Amino acid sequence: MADRAESESRKLLGRLRDTMAEQAAGQERLDKITHLTADSMGTEVCSIYLFRDDETLELCASEGLKAEAVHQTRMKLGEGLVGRVARTGQLMNTADAPSQRGFRYMPETGEEIYSSFLGVPIQRLGEKLGVLVVQSKTAREYTSDEVYALEVVAMVLAEMTELGAFVGEGAALSARHTQPVLLRGTAGQEGTAEGHVWLHEPRVVVTNLVADDPVKENERLSAAVETLRVSVDDLLAGAADPEQVQVLEAYRMFANSKGWMRRMEEDIARGLSAEAAVEKEQSSARARMSQVTDAYLRERLQDLDDLSNRLLRILTGQGKETGADMPRDPILIARNIGPGELLEYGRSLKAIVLEEGSVGSHAAIVARALAIPLVVHAGRITNEALNGDHVMVDGDQGIVHLRPDETVVSAFRDKIAMQAQALERYASIRETPCVAHCGSRIELHMNAGLMADLPSLVSSGAEGVGLFRTELQFLVRNQMPRRTELAVLYRRVLNSAKGKRVVFRTLDIGSDKVLPYMKPNDEPNPALGWRAIRVGLDKPGILRMQLQALLRAAEGGPLTVMFPFVAQFEEYRQARAEMDKALERERILGHPIPSSLSVGAMLETPSLAFAPKKFFEEVEFLSIGGNDLKQFFFAADRENERVRRRYDTLNVSFLSFLESIVARCRETETHLSFCGEDAGRPIEAICLAAIGLRSLSMRPASIGPVKHLMMRTNLKDLREVIMNAKERGDQSVRPAVMTYLRERV
């Protein structure tokens, strides 16, 4: 019975291949496929529904339904049984279709006489393209062999759709990768850019789906899998770090999986080529991945997906190097990317668009350090984009225009031109101190994390580095950096600053920043977990090593160090004690001691704002970490799009809380600054200055816009506007502030 099923499957695939090889228009090919599928499976109906847009399916070909319904019958995603299959990505097999929940009768099709229904999704590597359906008058469920046969036809349809075999009239048959696409993601780094697509990992395209000689295909598969296993073993042999070994062991487990191999061999026996068998299993893994909520299982399925890509590259010979030249204005497109890989591209990139990622990911940290516009969560981008495609990225709004039409291009270029004009205006005030219209002096500093950032000290007009993130040097390596390496790097930073103050923040890891060589902790809420100074105090060896490197980098000059995520006075005291120990050790070793040493803390938790007065007297300076403080104040995860935009920085409650911190620092004469995304937003910045903050730290590109508005604003008048809004009981002062600016500035 199994041999017969394999023979019938190969026969059907052979007929499909012959149909594909014929010179015919797209519609004619679809019509032939529905005819031969219905004939081969012995069903009265075979229909192909394809997406005409993200939410609408269209009947594009049918054997058995009324001819006039083709290209006229349409349904929304989730509507009817066909829409349900499309939405869930799961097949439906029923003997009595009208009795199924969600059944929708389409009178124009004449399908009321058919009882049984089998629908399978047409999808390629997780991308939904349509639904393939067979129907019969007889009330029966289709056999597993019939289900398999239809799944194989759906796979062939998906691959041939990707290769442009069904291009015709109408939106549903429009050529792929040619139409304008608007993708909405999440803003990871502000800025706008125009350029051309550069795919980090170009897709593998399978052209030989059907094979006549299963023995030969099995031999090809076995040889490729053996090559894959050897490459994984070689990687394992060279891996010294336990965590790397753990990941590669998972790879090896899948590479040696008998179940994985058996399923691919069964696919080949039924007529698929080795490449098609691998991709069929990969698509199945992708489909399962979308249904799994458990993070561990999703990671394992991701391993299988990555392994399948490796195997496909071995079988097809299509490596990452395709021979294509990187465009002069590359915009990097990837599912995800590590910080090391991103740094290899460096500042050559105009922008970055990720299908996955997060606003707090390693890639986002590097993108911010390099001041490269970034959009994350741009779904389908890796399936839609081709190398060389024209693309425009709006990092301010989290929008990507792929292959934009002329109206979009014109509007986007106008926006870029306006930004360029603004930059020219900002350049004229670069050397001018930031003094508000009322005479208040505001210090504007820049955030940094790489040596490449330091030239911005001059070009931006920053008065110093208010935050130097030291974790990037740890994140981009496969092993812990040495103290001497860090000391050399920190010395270069201080030299590049040319006497301007640099505030070094000690290692801020944990939460969304996990070192590749440290054992990850599966925490239910990592943002509130083992991170930053908590790691430093629990692993004092790492903290001491970094403090020693900083002290040596100073070479007898001034040094400023800040501890991150301090939640209570005792944590600061313990961290300060580690600094004192490191200082004493340097004295004993005869190394030069900094001429002045300033040690502070980041105020990122509401608890620290209520610390004893003694804390404010002991700490030499404080920097409000606005991003974390805001998410904890509002109990709104800044990685969660549903809630992170729900709460306004200019909310009266939050501004009042910040005012109380300003008052406590003023009482003890503790220097206070504000560091975070909001410091670089001009409206928010002038409001922070109006409530008493006199030092702000932001990305270099924000200094010009902030200074420009600050110099035109009377902070005393603005403070009165804010106070009046509070007294009226406004939830946010933003409307009142915007009215004031329109009338007075």
- What residues act catalytically? 362, 675
Q: How many CB atoms lie within 10 A of CB 226?
A: 12
Sign of the alpha-carbon dihedral angle for 542, 548, 549, 550: positive
Give CA separation, 428 vs 422, 425, 441, 512, 680, in Å. Answer: 10, 5, 19, 39, 19
User: How far apart, in Å, are the Cα atoms of 517 and each of 242, 511, 520?
Assistant: 8, 15, 9
* Helix residue spans in 65-201 (DSSP H): 80-88, 144-162
Cα 442 from Cα 707, distance rounded (Å): 9
Handedness of CA 102, 107, 108, 112 (dihedral sign): positive
Residues 121, 82: Cα–Cα separation, whole Å: 9
Cα gap 442→688, rounded to integer Å: 11
- Residue 37 backbone dihedrals phi, psi, to 5 degrees: -70, -45
β-bridge mates for residue 135, sequence order = 45, 117
User: Among candidates 349, 337, 351, which has minimal Cα distance to 399?
Assistant: 351
CA distances from 420 to 271, 348, 425 (A): 58, 19, 9
Q: Can you tell me which residue has the tokens 């990992």?
A: 201
* CA–CA distance, 655 with 138 (Å, rounded to integer): 70
Quick one: DSSP state of residue 235? H
Ordered DSSP codes for 718-736: HHHHHHHHHHHT-SBSHHH
Residue type, 119: G
What's the burial of 86, exposed, middle or buried (CB within 10 Å: 0-12/13-18/19+)? buried
> Integer distance in angstroms from the first to the last C-alpha of the chain?
83
In degrees and rounded to multiples of 5, residue 398 shows phi and psi of 75, 35
Q: Given strand 45-53, what is the order of strands in its sheet?
A: 74-76, 56-63, 45-53, 127-136, 116-124, 92-94
Yes or no: say if 79 and 59 are a contact pair by the CB < 8 Å rule.
no
Q: What's the angle, vertex CA 307, arms to CA 303 and CA 309, rounded to 5? A: 120
Residue 39, amino acid: D
Largest CA distance in the chain: 95
DSSP 8-state assignment for residue 110 = T
Residue 66, helix vs strand vs coil: coil
Report whether 6 contacts 265 (CB < 8 A).
no
Closest of 32, 70, 275, 55 to residue 166, by C-alpha = 32
Q: Closest Cα to residue 56, out of 85, 84, 76?
A: 76
H or E segment at 643? helix 641-644
Distances (CA, A) of 466 to 135, 146, 369, 451, 621: 68, 66, 14, 15, 11
Residue 182 is inside which H or E element, if any? Answer: strand 181-184
Alpha helix locations (H) across 323-471?
A: 339-345, 362-370, 381-384, 406-428, 456-460
**Two tokens, residue 237:** 């042999």
Name which of 360, 358, 363 is nearest 337 in CA terms: 363
